[in-house]
Amino acid sequence: MAEPRDKLLLLQAALDGELDAAGMLAFERLLSEDADLAADYGRQKALRDALRALPKAVVSGALRGQIEAMAPPRRAPFRQWVPMGLAACVAFLIGSSVTYLVLPQPPSQEMAALVGDHVRGVISGQPVDVVSSERHTVKPWFASHTALSPEVVDLKDDGFPLVGGRVDVVGVTPVPTLVFKRRAHLVSLAEVPNTIAQIPLGHGALNGLSLLAWREGSVTYVAISDAMPEDLDALKEAFDKAIAAPP
């Protein structure tokens, strides 16, 4: 324990409560013999206490709200009744009208809203509210315009350069939508919290546009484009890869 460096490390351990009783005893003996060490210990202890007394940064209410909204509660109270209700509905539908089941499903309202926003963007020539291929411009913009700050990735290397971002409205809720380019086509990728809409997953088509919806944790991603359905599969693959990788 003669080395000054060892003493210094021992002092740290004593200060931080990392010594056991025997170690602390030995250290106290050392302190009583070494005035320099004792003075240093006093200084460091004062510094420790002063640092611990510094005011703590606190998360603002707005940010806390945004973070809490990342994992919204499931509608719990009647959970047990839901399967029974569904079963009853299915039985009723089959019993009353088998033909209904073979007719194409009408698009959900939410899907129709997203497709509508995509179409409006393409027709108006202004598919994005914030133009940028720079993801660090797009992400903060979303953070200030929607409750949820989405994953923003540029998939240029996979053939989907980022064009920018836009806010779509599902029901009355603004949701973030990324816009990518696929050759001459635009692809909208909306991120819809599962709490505001239960969107049917998988491939679909509406008004000649290809659709692909998939779920990731608490959100559903909806890709819309006049490109081929395979292009949407490629987008999903590239997107999954990009958000799984560390930025």
**Residues lying near other proteins in the complex (CB under 8 A):** 4-5, 8-9, 11-13, 16, 18, 36, 39-40, 42-60, 63-64, 66-68, 70-74, 136, 140, 143, 149, 151, 217-218, 246-247
Q: How far is the CB of 4 from other proteins (least distance, A)?
A: 6
Q: How far is the CB of 226 from other proteins (least distance, A)?
A: 31
Distances from the Cα of 39 to the Cα of 33, 191, 194, angstroms? 12, 59, 60
Q: Give CA 193 to chain center in angstroms.
A: 10
Instruction: Say if residues 237 and 189 touch (Cβ distance below 8 Å).
Output: no
Q: Which phi and psi (to 5°) does residue 57 adopt?
A: -70, 140
**Closest C-alpha to 194, from 92, 57, 72, 105:** 72
CA distance 205 to 120: 17
- Nearer of residues 67 and 93 to other proteins, judged by Cβ: 67
CA distance 217 to 147: 16
Edge-to-edge strand list for the sheet holding 173-182: 130-131, 162-170, 173-182, 185-193, 219-225, 209-216, 202-206
Structure tokens given for 102: 């073979």
- Nearer of residues 52 and 183 to other proteins, judged by Cβ: 52
- Nearer of residues 18 and 157 to other proteins, judged by Cβ: 18
Instruction: Say if residues 114 and 170 touch (Cβ distance below 8 Å).
Output: yes
Q: How far is the CB of 5 from other proteins (least distance, A)?
A: 7
- Nearer of residues 173 and 218 to other proteins, judged by Cβ: 218
Q: How far is the CB of 229 from other proteins (least distance, A)?
A: 27
Q: How far is the CB of 74 from other proteins (least distance, A)?
A: 6
Q: How far is the CB of 49 from other proteins (least distance, A)?
A: 7
- Nearer of residues 111 and 152 to other proteins, judged by Cβ: 152
Instruction: Say if residues 246 and 236 touch (Cβ distance below 8 Å).
Output: no
- Nearer of residues 44 and 173 to other proteins, judged by Cβ: 44
